[in-house]
């Protein structure tokens, strides 16, 4: 019988055990082993059954057991110590409190998903896990973040397999009362409610749940409230489900509702208001529109509000894959932001302009969330050095006239939260541990993984319909002494789950090699609407089902954080073979590295930046060089080449290194152990998320907070007015003439430049006239990397024809082919950089202007 209503009965803890409730409701337990041990001690069976979830343990433990623990002095002492430790963690000054400078009072961090623990399954993959790691590291550093997201009633799906290997999706009901969440309530106790107006007079209402991530509150909006009509109730039903209108409503709730939730939270708790809003990918971009509306209510025009909002907004782009970018039909957006929809005070035409793809090849009919993200944020970044440069190329069309290198998108390489992702055994390693000790540790972790794999594989086969009697072979799956390679991630096509199957014979030889076998553990979920991805999974499952190889290759369904924590620690090698450069960063390999697992990867994302032969192997790539599509034949050829390189590396380098047990008869793979040690000691310290969060604070949050403070309404109004004036006047700005007086073309000499520019209605104070000089290639392009930009000084004007003279010396500080040009840029102290407005004037490209375009000296 199906229940018509569900609720949960909260446990009443005896007085001495009260602190257990606080410990369970602060997710710091998820990265604090002592607290987890405490909950395991409360009820070892309940702990196992709940998958390690303190709230569930407390919900299920018997009153008798609680009474017993109340009388257990040893337990009470441990409890008191854990409670004290949490209190100290939450109140002590940390890095942020000691940092110099005027730091932001608070930063709101918006993300469509957050992966904090398996007990709060609100993530689908890397983006969400990164957001979780960002909050945890912020908490460890004492950075005053407020996380903002949605509470999905079914989370992402749980993955199973049919008998023939087809992905099956299940959507469990998640009851917030059984999760580490509390409803945000107003003073009188009534739940805080956020409301959005939808077309046709509908209302979308949401409650706000709060999770505590150490020191950081995470607010999750939930549309599953009684007063909503069924359609609106289902807005937060599942992560990345539904059609585009459903997605739009989710993103409106996240962005607009999220700002309203933050305001309510700050009002109720006295938390300082955020000075910076950070949007993790474009999905939350509407938060900027809500803040424009707020300022509009206080009298600011759209343009003024836009400047004020941009100053305090940071946008992080996460993907160079077009399918990863949210694009909506313009008409759909227009309907939801028109007079009949949300933000009635905000001009819908201005809203639409923000999301318009104005670059060549852009589609006039769509509203692009990443484009809006870039226009609403004065500061933007990609997530690895390579991805930063790919993003600058990809979005260069929004800054016409600028070289990609000057596109104002920087990069902060992702990091991972070390306490979450490092095995206890690895954290406990002592500095002087010898080779034998290190190898023993790797064997222990591999052994644990083998046990876990057998357990999961058994469950999977039972669910696929096999009877226990058929499954005796599972006891022989994987060998704790065999080189173990892991590959687990979402299954979009660029990640190439099945590259390893390209030549099945060669793969089989590797798996069944008589003396140097390799074993593979594979996992990953395909998006429910992605049948192509599901076919790849099926291909892999069918291969792994073959009795000839099934003891050496397994596919484990339902990849998630709990499984990931075992995989990264237990594997010897972490494999990643994306189509370069489509993996923006990738973080699983970093988590593996924290545990001394070596990486075997295409040089993409973070591995392009930090690869060293001491840390693993680089799979050579036939990379075409950019995210632009290649022909299907090229793609096939590339897959063939890269797969062949992968087999070759495994057979000729990875396996021999692993199985070479030394001449001295120590039985130890000395070279391998040396690489493990290098990975732990030199790569390990680079990957943690606290390094990443510190970079965000120093390079993005602090400048954004300062810009935000500088732009009070009056200043913002002046800046908006100035920008409008400059934009209108720009078509009449021109470089009329360039003269060079060249004394000697020798190293150390100088050119004297004299430039005449027309500024139309602008004044010299509105612009900067620059010489750009550097090495030139065969086509006379100045190389980005070593270009110097020298401001020229106004020396006279206006002449009768209205033009102005600029002068300056250009030092010849390098030998070889050298060239220069000049350009005019808007200049204002409140611009974050020269390209901000996307306006630049260069000398005309005519033959007689040859001189103006640069003197060449060879």
Ligand X SMILES: *Cc1c(COP(=O)(O)O)cnc(C)c1O
826: helix, strand or coil: strand
**Which residues are bridge partners to 209 per DSSP?**
183, 220
Which range in 122-130, 210-218, 312-320, 549-557 contacts ligand X by CB under 6 A? 122-130
**Exposure of 26 by Cβ count < 10 A (0-12 exposed, 13-18 middle, 19+ buried)?**
buried
Q: Six-digit token pair at 244?
A: 């585009």
CB-CB contact of 562 with 118 (8 Å)? yes
CB-CB contact of 183 with 207 (8 Å)? yes
By C-beta, is 312 or 320 nearer to ligand X? 320
By C-beta, is 241 or 560 nearer to ligand X? 560
> Does residue number 184 form part of the binding site for ligand X (CB under 6 A)?
no
Side-chain half-sphere of 462: how many Cα atoms within 13 Å? Answer: 10
Least distance to ligand X, CB of residue 456, Å: 14
Q: Which of residues 667-706 bind ligand X (CB under 6 A)?
A: none
Alpha-helical segments (H) within 254-354: 258-269, 287-297, 302-311, 330-337, 348-354
By C-beta, is 213 or 396 nearer to ligand X? 213
By C-beta, is 328 or 559 nearer to ligand X? 559
237: helix, strand or coil: coil
Least distance to ligand X, CB of residue 318, Å: 10
Q: Of 19, 52, 54, 125, which one interacts with ligand X (CB under 6 A)?
A: 125
Q: Which of residues 702-731 bind ligand X (CB under 6 A)?
A: none
Q: Six-digit token pair at 724?
A: 């409008």
By C-beta, is 559 or 658 nearer to ligand X? 559
Q: Of 19, 54, 104, 126, which one interacts with ligand X (CB under 6 A)?
A: 126
Q: Of 50, 587, 595, 803, which one interacts with ligand X (CB under 6 A)?
A: 587
In angstroms, the CA 691 to CA 139 distance is: 13
Does an H or E element contain 110, and which? Answer: strand 107-110
Phi and psi at residue 563, to the nearest 5°: -65, -40
Phi and psi at residue 232, to the nearest 5°: -75, -30
By C-beta, is 125 or 142 nearer to ligand X? 125
Which range in 121-129, 186-194, 607-615, 785-793 contacts ligand X by CB under 6 A? 121-129
By C-beta, is 125 or 288 nearer to ligand X? 125
Which range in 273-281, 303-311, 327-335, 559-567 contacts ligand X by CB under 6 A? 559-567
Q: Six-digit token pair at 539?
A: 């291909």
By C-beta, is 328 or 607 nearer to ligand X? 607
> Does residue number 112 form part of the binding site for ligand X (CB under 6 A)?
no
Which range in 461-469, 587-595, 656-664, 813-821 contacts ligand X by CB under 6 A? 587-595
> Does residue number 132 form part of the binding site for ligand X (CB under 6 A)?
no
In angstroms, the CA 597 to CA 567 distance is: 10
Draw the binding track, 630-669, toward ligand X (x: CB under 6 A; -: no contact).
----------------------------------------
Least distance to ligand X, CB of residue 534, Å: 18
Q: Of 141, 549, 561, 598, which one interacts with ligand X (CB under 6 A)?
A: 561
> Does residue number 30 form part of the binding site for ligand X (CB under 6 A)?
no
Least distance to ligand X, CB of residue 576, Å: 6
Which residues are CB-neighbours of 169 under 8 A, at least 6 positions away?
157, 158, 159, 160, 528
DSSP assignment string, 701-753: IHHHHHHHHH--HHHHHHHHHHHHHHHHHGGG-EEEEEEEEES--STT-EEEE
Q: Six-digit token pair at 592?
A: 């593996």
Least distance to ligand X, CB of residue 561, Å: 5
Q: Of 23, 58, 106, 129, which one interacts with ligand X (CB under 6 A)?
A: 129
Q: Of 586, 797, 808, 819, which one interacts with ligand X (CB under 6 A)?
A: 586
Q: Of 205, 291, 387, 489, which one interacts with ligand X (CB under 6 A)?
A: 489
Least distance to ligand X, CB of residue 590, Å: 8
Least distance to ligand X, CB of residue 638, Å: 20
CB-CB contact of 287 with 354 (8 Å)? no
Which range in 12-20, 106-114, 556-564, 619-627 contacts ligand X by CB under 6 A? 556-564
By C-beta, is 482 or 526 nearer to ligand X? 526
By C-beta, is 206 or 416 nearer to ligand X? 416
In 517-664, the DSSP E strands lie at 518-523, 553-556, 573-576, 598-602, 616-619
Which residues are CB-neighbours of 857 under 8 A, at least 6 positions away?
745, 817, 818
> Does residue number 419 form part of the binding site for ligand X (CB under 6 A)?
no
Least distance to ligand X, CB of residue 529, Å: 19
By C-beta, is 611 or 818 nearer to ligand X? 611
Alpha-helical segments (H) within 546-602: 561-570, 588-594
CB-CB contact of 746 with 802 (8 Å)? no
Phi and psi at residue 427, to the nearest 5°: -60, -30
Which range in 271-279, 344-352, 581-589, 764-772 contacts ligand X by CB under 6 A? 581-589
Least distance to ligand X, CB of residue 586, Å: 4
In angstroms, the CA 387 to CA 411 distance is: 7
> Does residue number 560 form part of the binding site for ligand X (CB under 6 A)?
yes
Which range in 125-133, 372-380, 784-792, 819-827 contacts ligand X by CB under 6 A? 125-133
CB-CB contact of 229 with 132 (8 Å)? no
CB-CB contact of 175 with 6 (8 Å)? yes
By C-beta, is 125 or 274 nearer to ligand X? 125
Which range in 153-161, 312-320, 560-568, 760-768 contacts ligand X by CB under 6 A? 560-568
By C-beta, is 133 or 342 nearer to ligand X? 133
By C-beta, is 587 or 621 nearer to ligand X? 587
> Does residue number 564 form part of the binding site for ligand X (CB under 6 A)?
yes
CB-CB contact of 787 with 834 (8 Å)? no
- How many beta carbons lie within 10 A of that of residue 314, not counting itself? 24
> Does residue number 111 form part of the binding site for ligand X (CB under 6 A)?
no
Region for residue 664 given its phi and psi (left: phi exceeds 0; alpha: psi -120 to 50; beta: otherwise): alpha
From 350, 250, 379, 220, select the one nearest 292 (Cα to Cα): 350
By C-beta, is 498 or 587 nearer to ligand X? 587
Least distance to ligand X, CB of residue 460, Å: 17
- Within its chain, how far is the Cα of 72 from the centroid? 45
By C-beta, is 125 or 257 nearer to ligand X? 125
- How many beta carbons lie within 10 A of that of residue 582, not counting itself? 22
Give the N- to C-terminal CA distance of the chain in Å, as an integer. Answer: 87
By C-beta, is 238 or 591 nearer to ligand X? 591
From 289, 325, 287, select the one nearest 149 (Cα to Cα): 287
Q: How many residues bind ligand X (CB under 6 A)?
A: 12
Q: Of 356, 498, 588, 841, which one interacts with ligand X (CB under 6 A)?
A: 588
Phi and psi at residue 13, to the nearest 5°: -85, 135
Least distance to ligand X, CB of residue 559, Å: 6
Does an H or E element contain 789, and which? Answer: strand 788-791
Which range in 45-53, 583-591, 595-603, 653-661 contacts ligand X by CB under 6 A? 583-591
Give whole-number Cα distances, 609 to 585, 601, 606, in Å.
10, 12, 5
> Does residue number 415 form part of the binding site for ligand X (CB under 6 A)?
no
Q: Which residues bind to ligand X, rule: CB under 6 A?
A: 125-126, 129, 489, 559-561, 564, 586-588, 591
């Amino acid at each position: 019988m199906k229940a018509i209503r569900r609720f949960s009965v909260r446990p009443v803890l005896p007085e001495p055990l009260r602190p257990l409730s606080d410990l369970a409701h602060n997710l710091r337990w998820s990265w604090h082993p002592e607290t987890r041990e405490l909950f395991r001690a409360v009820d070892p069976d309940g702990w196992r059954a709940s998958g390690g979830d303190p709230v569930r343990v407390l919900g299920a433990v018997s009153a008798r057991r609680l009474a017993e623990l109340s009388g257990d002095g040893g337990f009470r002492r441990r409890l008191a110590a854990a409670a004290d430790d949490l209190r100290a963690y939450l109140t002590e000054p940390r890095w942020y409190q000691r940092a110099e400078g005027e730091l932001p009072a608070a930063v709101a961090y918006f993300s469509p998903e957050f992966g904090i623990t398996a007990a709060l399954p609100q993530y689908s993959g890397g983006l969400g896990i990164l957001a979780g790691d960002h909050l945890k590291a912020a908490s460890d550093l004492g950075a005053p973040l407020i996380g903002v997201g949605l509470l999905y009633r079914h989370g992402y799906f749980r993955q199973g397999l049919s008998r023939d290997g087809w992905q099956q999706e299940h959507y469990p009901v998640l009851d917030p009362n059984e999760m580490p969440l509390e409803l945000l309530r107003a003073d009188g106790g009534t739940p805080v409610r956020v409301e959005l107006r939808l077309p046709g007079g509908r209302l979308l209402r949401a409650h706000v749940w709060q999770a505590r991530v150490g020191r950081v509150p995470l607010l999750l909006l939930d549309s599953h409230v009684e007063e909503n009509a069924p359609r609106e109730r289902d807005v937060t039903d599942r992560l990345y489900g539904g059609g585009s209108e459903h997605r739009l409503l989710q993103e409106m709730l996240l962005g607009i509702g999220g700002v309203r939730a933050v305001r309510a939270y700050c009002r109720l708790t006295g938390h300082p208001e955020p000075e910076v809003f950070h949007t993790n990918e474009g999905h939350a971009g509407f938060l900027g529109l809500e803040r424009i509306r707020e300022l509009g209510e206080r009298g600011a025009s759209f343009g003024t509000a836009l400047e004020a909002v941009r100053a305090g907004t940071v946008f992080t782009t996460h993907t160079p894959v077009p399918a990863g970018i949210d694009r909506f039909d313009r008409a759909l957006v227009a309907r939801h932001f028109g007079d009949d929809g949300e933000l009635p005070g905000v001009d819908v035409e201005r809203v639409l302009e923000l999301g318009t793809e104005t670059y060549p090849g852009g589609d006039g009919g769509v509203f692009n969330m990443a484009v809006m993200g870039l226009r609403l944020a004065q500061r933007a970044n990609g997530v690895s050095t390579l991805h930063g440069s790919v993003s600058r190329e990809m979005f260069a069309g929004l800054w016409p006239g600028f070289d990609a290198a000057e596109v104002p998108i920087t990069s902060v390489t992702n990091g991972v939260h070390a306490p979450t992702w490092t095995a206890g055994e690895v954290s406990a390693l002592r500095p002087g541990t010898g080779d034998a000790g290190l190898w023993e540790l790797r064997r222990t972790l591999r052994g644990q993984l083998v046990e876990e794999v057998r357990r999961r594989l058994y469950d999977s086969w039972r669910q696929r319909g096999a009877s226990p009697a058929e499954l005796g072979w599972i006891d022989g799956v994987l060998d704790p002494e065999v080189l173990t390679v892991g590959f687990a991630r979402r299954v979009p096509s660029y990640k190439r789950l099945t590259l390893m199957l390209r030549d099945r014979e060669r793969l089989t030889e590797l798996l069944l090699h008589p003396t140097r076998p390799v074993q593979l553990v594979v996992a990953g979920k395909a998006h429910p609407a992605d049948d192509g991805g599901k076919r790849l999974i099926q291909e892999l499952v069918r291969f792994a089902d073959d009795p000839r190889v099934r003891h050496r290759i397994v596919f484990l369904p339902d990849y998630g954080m709990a499984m990931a924590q075992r995989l990264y620690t237990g594997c010897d090698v972490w494999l990643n073979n994306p189509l370069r450069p489509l993996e923006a960063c990738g973080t699983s390999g970093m988590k593996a590295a924290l545990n001394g697992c070596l990486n075997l990867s295409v040089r993409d994302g973070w591995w392009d930046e930090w690869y060293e032969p001491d840390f693993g192997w680089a799979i050579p790539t036939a990379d075409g060089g950019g995210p632009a599509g290649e022909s299907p034949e090229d793609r096939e050829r590339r897959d063939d080449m890269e797969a062949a390189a992968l087999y070759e590396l495994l057979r000729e380098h990875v396996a021999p290194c692993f199985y070479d047990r030394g001449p001295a008869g120590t039985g130890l793979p000395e070279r391998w152990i040396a690489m493990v040690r290098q990975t732990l000691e030199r790569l390990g310290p680079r990957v943690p998320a606290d390094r990443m969060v510190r970079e965000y604070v120093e390079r993005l949050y602090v400048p954004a907070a300062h810009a935000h403070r500088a732009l009070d309404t009056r200043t913002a109004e002046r800046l908006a007015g100035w920008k409008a004036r400059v934009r209108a006047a720009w078509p009449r700005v021109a470089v009329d003439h360039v003269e060079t007086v060249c004394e000697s073309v020798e190293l150390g000499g100088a050119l004297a430049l004299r430039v005449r520019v027309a500024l139309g209605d602008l004044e010299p104070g509105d612009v900067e006239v620059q010489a750009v000089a550097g090495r030139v290639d065969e086509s006379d392009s100045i190389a980005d990397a070593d270009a110097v930009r020298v401001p020229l000084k106004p020396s006279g004007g206006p002449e009768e024809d209205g033009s102005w003279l600029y002068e300056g010396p250009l030092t010849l500080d390098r030998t070889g082919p050298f060239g220069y040009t000049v350009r005019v840029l808007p200049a204002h102290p409140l611009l974050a950089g020269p390209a901000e407005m996307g306006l630049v004037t260069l000398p005309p490209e005519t033959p007689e202007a040859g001189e103006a375009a640069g003197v060449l000296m060879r």
